[in-house]
Structure 1
Amino acid sequence: MDDLEQAIVISFETGAVDSALKSQAVTYCQQIKETPSICSICIEKLWFSKLVQVQFWCLQTLQDVLRVKYGSMSLDEQSYVRKSVFSMACLEVIDNENAGRVVEGPPFVKNKLAQVLATLIYYEYPLIWSSVFLDFMLHLCKGAVVIDMFCRVLNALDDELISLDYPRTPEEISVAARVKDAMRQQCVPQIARAWYDIVSMYKNSDPDLSATVLDCMRRFVSWIDIGLVANDAFVPLLFELILSDGLSEQVRGAAAGCVLAMVSKRMDPQSKLPLLQTLQISRVFGLVSGDVDSDLVSKVSALLTGYAVEVLECHKRLNSEDTKAVSMDLLNEVLPSVFYVMQKCEVDSTFSIVQFLLGYVSTLKGLPALKEKQLLHITQILEVIRIQICYDPMYRNNLNSLDKTGLEEEDRMSEFRKDLFVLLRTVGRVAPEVTQHFIRNSLANAVESSSESNVEEVEAALSLLYSFGESMTEEAMKTGSGCLSELIPMLLTTQFPGHSHRLVALVYLENITRYMKFIQENSQYIPNVLGAFLDDRGLHHQNFYVSRRAGYLFMRVVKLLKSKLVPFIDKILQNLQDTLSQLTTMNFASRELTGTEDGSHIFEAIGIIIGLEDVPAEKQSDYLSLLLTPLCQQIEAGLVQAKVASSEDFPVKIANIQFAIVAINALSKGFNERLVTASRPGIGLMFKQTLDVLLRVLIEFPKVEPLRSKVTSFIHRMVDTLGSAVFPYLPKALEQLLADSEPKEMVGFMVLLNQLICKFNSALHDILEEVYPVVAVRIFNVIPRDGLPSRPGAVTEEMRELIELQRMLYTFLHVIATHDLSSVFLTPKSRAYLDPMMQLVLNTSCNHKDITVRKACVQIFIKLIKDWCAEPYSEEKVPGFQNFVIEAFATNCCLYSVLDKSFNFSDANTHALFGEIITAQKVMYEKFGNTFLMHLMSKSFPSAHIPQDLAEQYCQKLQGNDIRSLKSYYQSLIENLRLQQNGSHVFR
């Protein structure tokens, strides 16, 4: 070995070679690459070196040089490289016994040689090297080595240039078109003939070579004349290969790939359909029943599915009755095998089962009636869906415990099933009776298997039923159309195997909930429904996830059945006694489940049932006491324990108090205001006593946010439930909630005040008179008069809370103003905050980025003007307010802010704001009369450079009664004024 060969070998070394030595070797190789004579060096090494590392390095270097420097190479150098690599590929060995033969090297060296030739073809064919393919074919008689090399060159050309499976540059697309056009005119027929001769000759003696040639041919079918391969010579040969048991699977599979390429070739459907007919594809149907893991079965499966897709496409695109009949016959012929492939075999990744089946089902939609064969196909499609949606048994334990693997598999399957369920519902609309019978049989088969090993089958059958219900009309569900009247009773009265598994239990309960419309109409099944939820299939299920979900679904069922459950109350409470006891004593701090899974829905369900007026008053009182008493005791005990709890135990005690409050809140949702205050005040008294207990939580732990928010939620609830009877409790409650409130807590506090104002209106005046000054001082201490930036650059959590507080303040002020409570702003205690409030509202009405907030602020001004300003020339109710409105609001908000280009008239929200601004101006004229008009004419309009005549026209419009005309004129005025300010329009 010379120095270069040594350096190349070291640079390729991956073992224990000194890193410094390897780096030195790589550097040396790179230096050699830069020498002007690098092509000669590489060619010489390729002729004489037998080291595969050297051969590969030289070929790679040649390819790099051609790609980067071809245009700057001399004609002699180009010719030298061309002749040399072509001679190597065609086995033209020089007369030297020590010469190396690159074409007899390992595959990676031969592939690299093929890529070098493909690169030369890229630059030189057909203008410089027009005979490359014809010259190459003259050497094919040398046997397998050259034939193999020829195929590798064609494959490299496909990979590097022609195939559209890879992204191509515009230049590459242009070169590919040039190469293909030249090959079509010059040599493709000869190449096709060579393929046929070689395969015919070597199919038995050298199956690997035959497979290589067939794979090469498959690549070219998409762009050559179809008649060169789809003819009386080639097609029989290909099917002979596919059907020959004695041949290797590799050759048979490669032949199937060629037929698939013919089938998939883009063609006019008028031409494609006869081709598909002549193939007589039924000859290969039996092959898919072989070993599903074999390469041949995989290739034939891909052929059949590809064939079916093309037949279906022809059926869609052809319009004549004859061609449609032919395509449907072909489709009917192949579909049973396609269904078998879908159920038993590994489907090719390029084939979409759902897309194909949806396409087929869509062809059946317009038919007046389905034939027997089509109904059979529908059943087979449903079987495909059932098999596809089955979980893999290997994940059974993971899915039951819902560990990380189980959660990932459930998420994956949930996504995977979406399209399949769309297909199911589509099939259900085309053939509802067949679909229902299939689901019934699937359920029956699942039930017949008493083995727990049938979990996946049972879950799939129940999932089919659940998904099918999504597309049913309410009327069909109520009447139990088709065999639904048989399916639902079967669902309710059957003990399904695998019910202990989380997946089966969940989908079973979801099904009952989905088909409740049927049960509402058939109340004889209510005991079955209750049994499913109250026994070990639901709330008493051994799996925690199931029992919690059952609580939520039970609540939904109760909401639908309501009064029909009154006769079963004792049974329900008796069955839930242990569950309720467990919920009120368990350590909820250790639970991660929240929302619909936290157990509180059981209390909501019970509250809905016992809160009905159909329940006798005495029993209702007993039931409520039975539930409220232990919950209140839990809170009282928790308060005592939390006071002395260690830092580790404190969160646990707080969490248990929190759950008890949530449970009480949920329980109360079943009781309405009329029941607890008018017809059964004793119930109202119990809730008042409960409210007393919960207010103690605020006193004991005012700064524990979770408790504070839950108590606030309960007060919200009591406002709706107790109505005005809640008034005596409000001062104490509001005082506690207001004490030491942070901005985030103030937001919640104002939400509560908004509810109270909307509920009680002016009746809340006295309470609001005391509370508003405290709210105002808190807020104006942290929010400046000109407001916070509505879109700050970097928003901290603290700033985000302040922005939310400011936004809620606008809502709060708006609610006060629009509920006839604006006098609250004028009380002695509140008077000090009037100016900062007005400045904030003014600034916001002009500048806030949120148009809906600006609109609310304009509406506040409108209401205050109406409340505080008498008719023209009357004494002012609020001294200085009129001047403020005319000079600040009318000018800055109603004129300047509208003139700003950011005020977009084409935006719906902005247009609504503009309407409020027009209303404000109208109200100002009604209240201030000529004073307002004079200010507009003498100050506002001149400052905006509005011509006198246009200003006068606007004032005339303002004095009229046509507000739509006023709005249209003012918009036109503003838009023209903007143009004038740009210097591109002059008023006339």
Structure 2
Amino acid sequence: MDAQMLQGLWAPDNQQQHTRALDYLQQLRESSDGWQLCGATLTSGGSSLDEKVKFVCLQVLEHYARTRYMNSIPEEQTLFRQHLSQWMTTLCMTSEPEKVFIQNKTAQLLSLMFVVDYPSRWPTFIADLLSMLQLGSHAVDLYLRILLAIDGEVVDREIIHSQAETDRNSRIKDTMREHCVVDLTNSWYDILVKYDKSHPELVCQCHDVIGAYIAWIDISLIANDRFVCKLVDHLKEALIREAAADCIHEIITKGMDPVTKTQLIESFVTVLDQAGVLKPVDDDDSDFLVKLARLINGIGVQLILAWQKLEKKDNTKREMVRLAVENKVTLLLTFMASDYDDISAAVFDFARDYIQLIKQIGHITNVERGLLENMLYVVITKTKYDESYNFEQAGEDEAMFDDYRKKLKVVFDNLAALIPELVLKVSKEYVVTTLNRWQASSYEDVEAAVSLLYNLGEALPASHGNHFSGPSQVGDPAALQEHMSQVKTSTMQEMMRLLVTSGVSGHNHPAVSLQFFECVARYEKFFSCEPQYIPGILAAFLDHRGMRNRLPRVRSRTSYLFSRMVRCLKNHIVGYTEDILSQLTELLVMAPPNNGQITPLLTNDDQLYVFEAAAMLIISGNTEAQRKEILMRNLLSPVFAKVTCLAERLAQEQDPVRQMSIAKSICHATSVTARTSKAFSNQNTIQACGCVQMYLDALQLFITCLNVGMEREMVGSGVRQLMHRLVVCLDGGSLLPLLPVASQALLHTPSPTVLTEYLPLINQIITKFQKDISPFLQSIFVPLVSAIFTALSEPLEENDEEERRTRRLLQRNYYLFLTTIVSNNLLDVMASLDSNILQQVLMSVVQGAVEFPDPVAQKNCFVILRRLTEAWGVKDVGPPGFVEFLYTQVVPACFLAPLKTTFDLNDAQTILALHESVMCLQSVYKKRGEELLSYLRSEYLPKIELSPQLINEYCQALTSEAKFFRNYSKLFFQRAKS
């Protein structure tokens, strides 16, 4: 073997040498004697070989084992096994342990041989492995690695196997159970005894092997005095106890009869308790405690599973298991209360399952109630932030705690569902006590109290969606339920009153501030019931506690929550509108780009929420329309004035970076204007509030900015956004006169992106105004479609995937545009086209139906063809030549599209396209009748080489009802493509 040549594999910088080495490796793999060369190299070179060469040799042998070994002659198979046996011996007898990657690759190779050769060709495989153990610790290491690799090939349930592989694996396990499992388990015990002091890493590996094999071997081989005592002893040894804990976990989770499982677990718990292992109070090894917590979790979960498997009539056995579970809950609470969150989280499954167990039993004993109450206290305590939590720069640790807190909340929710009255009582005590002394408490306690109040809203069901109004007196199922609901309502109101009057809103820690505002917004109905607290809450939102807070993230979140509050409570807040608007003035100033003079308190996104809230207050008031219009103008006039200045600056600015900055500011101003229009409703329309002209003037202003010509796409995105909103709010008489000038400005430079984003706007306008849009549509149709065709036909760079995606989206939107036209009774727009243009459009639709590999677009294309057929499918009704077009293009498309390889009949969207093509063809039949059937029988279907019998069958199905023809067509094309 040319070992020097192989060195090039590890020299990627030397392209020539690297390529030669790859070619040589491939030659070794593919040549008939390459594996023999590698086998001989391994066995003759031994430990003196370079480790990289060893690895390459093992790769070549693995390739041979996977691809050619099974079909090779017996002599070659024997030689191959001899090479492997000699190589194993070499590994076992080296003075220094081989590199881990060499050992793992060897183990993987031998496991491959095991599954193909055992027991037929290599019946002594396990015996050969066991005989190696006398060669020392290196041999034991390799032996254990091989067993783990065999588990991966034969047993591991996470690996998907074919049926043949599954059957093979079952045969292997049956043979091993019969012939060698006892010998294997004896060897494991010997390893645990012999090496627990000298080679802890081997003992850990042995624990892994036992844990892997226990799932399918006889449990009595392991669950016996000698093994259990040794495993328990190992739980006391620092270097091996984590692996021992995992091993015991695998033993107790083995599938077995529920009574036997309970007895096994109870015996383990007794031994563990006697050994003092289950009292980890003084242990500071958090890694081990996580493993131990996982073991306790497994014990609890498995006992509960055993209880569930027992039949309900087995009361005695069930009670025995229930008591066994109950006796473990103290352990559960001990680990759940750990200072380490990963230890605590490891027993959450047990906690949730225990709560569900009590729920299934249907009644709660005093002991169980006490345990559940203790669990609740643990949950509340563990909810608190750790003092190390970094609120300024959250990292991985903070993300892990946030995730832990979410899981903790699931336990809290489960407790609340089971014992709502106790959860409410305990929560109230904690919230009231903490809020009454919040200034003397740590922020962690205060935040936990407010968070607890917030979580109650989701954990406890509300009466008629409201935590703050008593239950209906009609139809309540029971007086007890009514009493509980009234108690909860009263308790929640008491806690909310304390929250809003305690002064905790002024807490200087951001976690408390944010949780306070979240809680206030969560329970906005409280303020509907007790509106006297609204002024104080508004003040908190508007001053340094909320939107003027020193911290940007507090300002940002409270801006959003303020808009939510206003939307929910607008009827109670409108009396404060003008005072609120005056306080918002500073917050709504549009920041000049890059002038360095003003640092706005709110970001652009934050301002959108606040502008919407301000407009909501104005529109919801009881004042006359004239006053609303004045207030709206006062709100937006500073924005429009700013835009006028920005447009002048944009026209004069030469620096591209500053141009973009100004354009972004104009776009933000457009977004702000559009956002305020969300305040209008069916009750308070834009017309009723006298604001139509103001928005039309605004649109004119932004169109002017667009015509400046700088950063058109950025400014245009804002104009489109505003127009989308105005289409919703305005009638056709107001908006339609502006469409030509707006569209001309938006389409001044019709790039694929611009066209793609314009088409949804024109679709919305068509859908809203329908016939009223016809004159405008006729004027714009040809230029728009021509621009689309031009954009789609421009040369495309080969690797420009972004542009390729944009064009695909443009093409899809183009077909949706045509679909919108034909679906809104605007066919006159297409009928009036020049015949050449119409032909071009029609052919583009046929091309989309057949060639465009996008099922959504294909479906739309068939919708277009069907609608045109329904309207123009009779002679002398549609444009000249359309009936001929049906036979030359539409009918063939209904066959060609489903026959394409890209037309996936297993895809749901594609099936919708198929259904639409079927409906299209049936529409042709309804219009042309026997003429179509004659054409299919005599001309088209014979062309695609269908038998006369199948042609008659298809034509008969075509004349059937729609559902039958749809189902038939799917089967027809499935057969045709198979």
Partner of 1:740: 749
Partner of 2:810: 805
- Closer, same or farther in 2 for the Cα pair 1:389/1:74, shift >3 Å? closer
Tell me how far apart the structure 2 counterparts of residues 166 and 680 of structure 1 sit (CA, whole Å): 75
Q: How far 1:755 moved relative to its partner?
A: 1.9
- Closer, same or farther in 2 for the Cα pair 1:950/1:248, shift >3 Å? closer
Partner of 2:828: 823
Tell me how far apart the structure 1 counterparts of residues 749 and 172 of structure 2 sit (CA, whole Å): 77
SS of corresponding position for 2:407: helix
- Closer, same or farther in 2 for the Cα pair 1:282/1:186, shift >3 Å? closer
Q: How far 1:249 moved relative to its partner?
A: 8.0
- Which whole-Å deviations, capped at 9, do the CAs of 1:270-302 have from their partners, x for residues lacking one? 234345545546654884332534999788767
- Which whole-Å deviations, capped at 9, do the CAs of 1:665-697 have from their partners, x for residues lacking one? 11122124775565343x222222222322221
Letter in 2 for 1:454: S
Q: How far 1:478 moved relative to its partner?
A: 0.2
Which deviates more, 361-370 or 583-592? 583-592
Tell me how far apart the structure 2 counterparts of residues 339 and 746 of structure 1 sit (CA, whole Å): 62
Letter in 1 for 2:337: Q
Tell me how far apart the structure 2 counterparts of residues 106 and 932 of structure 1 sit (CA, whole Å): 82
Tell me how far apart the structure 1 counterparts of residues 425 and 902 of structure 2 sit (CA, whole Å): 62
SS of corresponding position for 1:395: coil
Letter in 1 for 2:961: S
Letter in 1 for 2:144: D
Matches for 1:538-553 after TM superposition, within 5 Å = 538-553=546-561
SS of corresponding position for 1:633: helix
- Which whole-Å deviations, capped at 9, do the CAs of 1:947-979 have from their partners, x for residues lacking one? 889978988998xxxx75377469758967997
Which deviates more, 171-180 or 566-575? 171-180
Give the counterpart of 1:353 among 347, 350, 365: 347
Partner of 1:965: 961
Contact kept, 8 Å, 1:918 with 1:967, in 2: the verdict is no
Contact kept, 8 Å, 1:842 with 1:893, in 2: the verdict is yes
Letter in 2 for 1:419: K
SS of corresponding position for 1:714: helix
- Closer, same or farther in 2 for the Cα pair 1:914/1:592, shift >3 Å? farther
- Closer, same or farther in 2 for the Cα pair 1:194/1:971, shift >3 Å? closer
Tell me how far apart the structure 2 counterparts of residues 763 and 845 of structure 1 sit (CA, whole Å): 30
Contact kept, 8 Å, 1:500 with 1:542, in 2: the verdict is no
Partner of 1:757: 766
Contact kept, 8 Å, 1:250 with 1:295, in 2: the verdict is no
Partner of 1:368: 362
- Closer, same or farther in 2 for the Cα pair 1:441/1:825, shift >3 Å? same
- Which whole-Å deviations, capped at 9, do the CAs of 1:886-922 have from their partners, x for residues lacking one? 4323442345556668767776313421342134214
Matches for 1:468-487 after TM superposition, within 5 Å = 468-470=456-458, 473=461, 475=463, 477-480=465-468, 481=485, 482=488, 483-487=491-495
SS of corresponding position for 2:565: helix
Q: How far 1:634 moved relative to its partner?
A: 0.7
- Closer, same or farther in 2 for the Cα pair 1:219/1:692, shift >3 Å? closer
- Closer, same or farther in 2 for the Cα pair 1:155/1:466, shift >3 Å? farther
Matches for 1:159-558 after TM superposition, within 5 Å = 159-162=144-147, 167=152, 268-277=257-266, 280=270, 284=276, 287-293=279-285, 307-319=299-311, 320-344=314-338, 352-396=346-390, 399-400=391-392, 402=393, 406-444=394-432, 446-447=434-435, 450=438, 454-470=442-458, 473=461, 475=463, 477-480=465-468, 481=485, 482=488, 483-496=491-504, 499-520=507-528, 523-558=531-566
Which deviates more, 440-449 or 180-189? 180-189
- Closer, same or farther in 2 for the Cα pair 1:727/1:324, shift >3 Å? same
Q: How far 1:632 moved relative to its partner?
A: 0.7
Give the counterpart of 1:859 among 858, 863, 886: 863
Matches for 1:837-856 after TM superposition, within 5 Å = 837-856=841-860
- Closer, same or farther in 2 for the Cα pair 1:345/1:220, shift >3 Å? farther
1:908 aligns with 2:904: no
- Which whole-Å deviations, capped at 9, do the CAs of 1:772-800 have from their partners, x for residues lacking one? 2321332233446xx999xx996643333
Q: How far 1:462 moved relative to its partner?
A: 4.2
Tell me how far apart the structure 1 counterparts of residues 970 and 303 of structure 2 sit (CA, whole Å): 64
**How does the TM-score come out when normalised to structure 2?**
0.72
Which deviates more, 209-218 or 549-558? 209-218
Which deviates more, 552-561 or 539-548? 552-561
Matches for 1:700-715 after TM superposition, within 5 Å = 700-701=708-709, 703-715=711-723
Give the counterpart of 1:656 among 655, 665, 681: 665
Q: How far 1:633 moved relative to its partner?
A: 0.6
Letter in 1 for 2:921: I
Contact kept, 8 Å, 2:412 with 2:459, in 1: the verdict is no
Contact kept, 8 Å, 2:792 with 2:807, in 1: the verdict is yes
Letter in 2 for 1:726: L
Tell me how far apart the structure 2 counterparts of residues 335 and 430 of structure 1 sit (CA, whole Å): 17
Q: How far 1:209 moved relative to its partner?
A: 8.2
Tell me how far apart the structure 2 counterparts of residues 407 and 214 of structure 1 sit (CA, whole Å): 37
RMSD: 5.9
Give the counterpart of 2:574 among 563, 566, 582: 566
Tell me how far apart the structure 2 counterparts of residues 741 and 640 of structure 1 sit (CA, whole Å): 24
Tell me how far apart the structure 1 counterparts of residues 398 and 881 of structure 2 sit (CA, whole Å): 65
- Which whole-Å deviations, capped at 9, do the CAs of 1:629-663 have from their partners, x for residues lacking one? 11111111111223333515333333322222211
Tell me how far apart the structure 1 counterparts of residues 228 and 205 of structure 2 sit (CA, whole Å): 16
Give the counterpart of 1:924 among 921, 924, 927: 927
SS of corresponding position for 1:700: coil
1:626 aligns with 2:634: yes
1:773 aligns with 2:782: yes
Uncovered stretches (5+) of structure 2, i.e. residues with no partner: 1-37, 66-75, 111-121, 156-167, 469-484
Matches for 1:686-705 after TM superposition, within 5 Å = 686-701=694-709, 703-705=711-713
- Which whole-Å deviations, capped at 9, do the CAs of 1:96-118 have from their partners, x for residues lacking one? xxxxxx9xx99999xx9xx99xx
Partner of 2:884: 884
- Closer, same or farther in 2 for the Cα pair 1:911/1:545, shift >3 Å? same
Tell me how far apart the structure 1 counterparts of residues 743 and 498 of structure 2 sit (CA, whole Å): 55
Residues matched between the structures, number: 864
Tell me how far apart the structure 2 counterparts of residues 37 and 934 of structure 1 sit (CA, whole Å): 81
Tell me how far apart the structure 2 counterparts of residues 781 and 126 of structure 1 sit (CA, whole Å): 72
- Closer, same or farther in 2 for the Cα pair 1:905/1:301, shift >3 Å? closer
Tell me how far apart the structure 1 counterparts of residues 957 and 288 of structure 2 sit (CA, whole Å): 86
- Closer, same or farther in 2 for the Cα pair 1:250/1:895, shift >3 Å? closer
Contact kept, 8 Å, 1:263 with 1:310, in 2: the verdict is yes
Tell me how far apart the structure 2 counterparts of residues 298 and 380 of structure 1 sit (CA, whole Å): 21
Letter in 1 for 2:927: M
Letter in 2 for 1:664: T
Contact kept, 8 Å, 1:446 with 1:496, in 2: the verdict is no
Contact kept, 8 Å, 2:594 with 2:661, in 1: the verdict is no
Partner of 2:13: none
Q: How far 1:766 moved relative to its partner?
A: 2.1
Q: How far 1:368 moved relative to its partner?
A: 2.4
Q: How far 1:353 moved relative to its partner?
A: 1.9
- Closer, same or farther in 2 for the Cα pair 1:488/1:628, shift >3 Å? same
Q: How far 1:824 moved relative to its partner?
A: 2.5
Q: How far 1:627 moved relative to its partner?
A: 0.7
- Which whole-Å deviations, capped at 9, do the CAs of 1:286-341 have from their partners, x for residues lacking one? 84332534999788767655554554444344443223323333333332233122
Contact kept, 8 Å, 1:249 with 1:295, in 2: the verdict is no
Contact kept, 8 Å, 1:288 with 1:301, in 2: the verdict is no
Contact kept, 8 Å, 2:389 with 2:398, in 1: the verdict is no
Q: Which has the larger radius of gyration?
A: 1
Q: How far 1:821 moved relative to its partner?
A: 2.4
Q: How far 1:475 moved relative to its partner?
A: 3.5
